[in-house]
Amino acid sequence: MLKTIFNVDSGLSEDAAINVYRRSAQSSGKLEALREELDYALSDPSVSWKALLANSDYEVFDAETEQQAKSYAIRILLEPLYGLK
């Protein structure tokens, strides 16, 4: 999702990318698994959200700190899943 939908090169606005992400997550049939994976990754201190959001393959958001990157990931990846069934 980060590389294909949220990548700055995709040309989608953040709102458009979040809407595509929400529709994709909801229609995948794997919504609960996605939530669990995100919860696990967000609670694992060894996961670098800075590296996941900006690396040599794609760029979503170039955060200054790990906490800023994690907060951004929560806002674009986890919060949009609230209320979906």
Amino acid identity of 22? R
Mean pLDDT of 22-38: 94
Distance between CA atoms of residues 8 and 63, nearest Å:
14
Average pLDDT, the chain: 95
Global confidence as pTM: 0.91
Mean pLDDT of 16-44: 95
pLDDT at 85: 79
Q: Which of the four pLDDT bands, split at 50, 70 and 90, describes residue 83?
A: confident
Distance between CA atoms of residues 57 and 42, nearest Å:
21
